[in-house]
Structures are given as C-alpha cells and as structure tokens.
Amino acid sequence: SFCSINQIKSTDLNHEPQHLPHVPEMIKHPNIVSLEDIFESKSHLYLIMQLVSGGELFDRIIEKGFYTEKDASKLIQQILDAVKYLHDMGIVHRDLKPENLLYYSMDEDSKIMISDFGLSKIEGSGSVMSTACGTPGYVAPEVLAQKPYSKAVDCWSIGVISYILLCGYPPFYDENDAKLFEQILKAEYEFDSPYWDDISDSAKDFIVHLMEKDSNTRYTCDQALLHPWIAGDTALDKNIHESVSAQIKKNFAKSKWKQAFNATAVIRHMRRLQLSTGGEAPNPSLPGEYPPHLLMAEEGAGSSRRVSVPPNR
C-alpha cells in the first residue's frame, strides 16, 4: 500500500502545548485519515500518513455533472459519523472545514475523509477549552467570544459546511474581519433567494439546529444523525449542480487548498517522543524502504509549517 510522507524539523516541535498525546495512533475510523507510522532522525521527523488520492471536496463537486441534496446529505452523514467517533473518544477536532475533507479515491462512490488534527484536543474531566483557534468563517460564536467551549464547536462547523454544500457560498462573509466576527457572534445568516429557493425546508431545519448560537441547545452529532435530512428521505433528488458549482468557483477559487497535514502541530501533541534539537545535518535521508520521490518538501515558514508534494517529482 502507498502512503504520504510529511517531513518536519524537530526544532519546530518544542514550543507549543502538546494537546493530543498518542491520539493519532488511537484514531481508527474509515472516514478519518490515519497516521500509519513515525520515523525519527537526529533533526527531522517523518509522518507516514494514510494516502488519500481522490482529490478535494469542492473540486469533485465542480467536476460532477449531477449533484443533489441527497449527495450532500450522504457527505454530511459520513462527517457526522467520524466526528461522533471522535467526540465519543473525548476528542474535539476544532478546525473542521472543507479544506480538511478529502476523497479517499477517484472512484465515483468514494468515501470522504477528515484530515488535519493540528488543533485537536482531548477533553479532560473537569477541564474546559478556551483557546481561540480554528478558521474564521467556520469557528463557533463561543470561540470568538472567548468563552469556554466544548464538542459543540465541531457541530457548528458541520452546520457551516452543510450550508456551503447546498449553495456554494459561506453563510458569513465580510472583507473586514471585525464585521465577519460580528455576524458569527450574532449567528446572523440567511437562506438567500434565489440560491435557496429549491432547497428543502428539511435541509434548512437541519442547518438551523447545527448553526444554533446557544451551544447548549445546538444539535449534537447523535441528534444530527437522527434528523430526517440525514436518516430519513427528505433530502431532495433535484439537480442543483449548476448553481452550487458556479458559486463554489466564484467564492472559493482563490483559496486553493493544500492537501498536506499540519504535520508540525500533530507531532507537537505526542508526548512520548523525546526530540533532539542539536545542530545535526538539516537534510537527513529517509529510511530506505520509503522511496525518495514520496518525500514531501517543506514550504512556508514559521512553526505551523505545511508540506506538499513538489511538482514533477
């Protein structure tokens, strides 16, 4: 089987809280990209990740000639199943967004996979999370309000993703971050005409229950999985591809995602690794059984470095 290999410098791993000890090895779910193995050299770590080759969520939707509410419902059901699994383990993802949703293969009926656990955290008994993190536009009101928060932040994000999957544009948008945050804090969003005219009331009801300002009354994954739009037959078969794909192209074309993991942040979470930070050679070779062309090149700077496969290699 093939894998994706992420390379990171060990010197980048010593300055942030280790939120998620042992979790990458613990997580085994058909809709979650797994960490297969880790190799450590004197100056670098190599994450051996499960390879997902089916492409990005939005690209696949655009490429389809036919796309319906039922297709969106099936996608969201898989995401809910995976996030319920995490929540049952006491894990909060905290950064669910379309960029972190990848198709497993190029097959027409390929499953969707959740990736990137760089901001994930285990809920401790008696502890609350309050660190402001996540991606603007997908983050829950309580996070922006710097209030204690819990698993409900992931359910809000799934609501936002559901909204986008049915119309092709985000529920909250403003060039000014302060105004964007104000919209989110007030949970101010609309089902605009004409984009939502052909979308079922059931779909809108599903979204309203997830994008609920009050985290205490917001749907949990368990509740969302029982909603008729997911568990029943209320998701429509009407083709909405033309409208949704046009809006995706218009609203998301400039944010072409990187498929790579935030490898540095994942590794920071793993307490068991004692890392060397000496002045070793900066470019160690990969263990021989993994071909050099699979090695991912570093790009960008700073401690939250992402890696991606270099072209033509």
Task: Give the C-alpha distances (Å, rounded to integers) separating 12 from 3, 7, 15, 266, 304.
Answer: 23, 11, 7, 12, 8
Is 90 exceeded by the pLDDT of residue 23? no
Residues sharing a CB contact under 8 Å with residue 91, sequence separation 6 or more, in sequence order: 20, 23, 27, 120, 121, 122, 123
Closest CA relative to residue 46, chosen from 275, 259, 313: 275
Q: What is the pLDDT of residue 3?
A: 54
Is 80 exceeded by the pLDDT of residue 220? yes
Structure tokens at 77: 């059901």
Structure tokens at 209: 């229950």
Q: How far apart are CA 29 and CA 192, in angstroms?
A: 36
pTM score of the predicted model = 0.72
Model pLDDT for residues 77-86, shown as the tens digit of each residue: 999 999 999 8
Distance from first CA to last CA of the chain, Å, rounded? Answer: 19
Q: Select the more confidently predicted residue: 200 or 51.
A: 200
Q: What is the pLDDT of residue 52?
A: 83
Q: Select the more confidently predicted residue: 88 or 134.
A: 88
Q: How far apart are CA 76 and CA 68, in angstroms?
A: 13
Contact between 51 and 37 under an 8 Å Cβ cutoff? The reply is no
Sign of CA dihedral 208, 211, 215, 221: positive
Contact between 101 and 79 under an 8 Å Cβ cutoff? The reply is yes
Q: How far apart are CA 268 and CA 18, in angstroms?
A: 5
% of the chain beyond a pLDDT of 90: 42
Q: How far apart are CA 138 and CA 8, in angstroms?
A: 27
In this prediction, residues 219-238 reach a mean pLDDT of 98
Task: Write the burial class of residue 45 (CB in 10 Å: 0-12 exposed, 13-18 middle, 19+ buried).
Answer: buried
Contact between 167 and 247 under an 8 Å Cβ cutoff? The reply is yes
Supply the mean pLDDT for the chain: 74
Interhelix angle 69-88/201-210, rounded to 10 degrees, is 20
In this prediction, residues 211-234 reach a mean pLDDT of 97
Model pLDDT for residues 112-150, shown as the tens digit of each residue: 999 865 434 444 434 443 343 445 688 889 888 777 668
Domains delineated in the chain: 3-52+259-308 (no CATH), 57-252 (1.10.510.10)
In this prediction, residues 292-308 reach a mean pLDDT of 30
From the candidates 12, 95, 116, 154, which is the catalytic residue? 95
134: left (phi over 0), alpha (psi -120 to 50) or beta: left
Band of residue 92 on the pLDDT scale cut at 50, 70, 90: confident
Beta bridge partners of 102: 56, 113
Closest CA relative to residue 55, chosen from 93, 106, 121: 106
Secondary structure of the chain: what % helix, strand, coil (to 5)? 35, 15, 50
Lowest mean pLDDT, pick from 37-51, 139-153, 277-291, 298-312: 298-312
The residue assigned the tokens 């050679």 is 281
174 is catalytic: no
Q: How far apart are CA 79 and CA 210, in angstroms?
A: 13
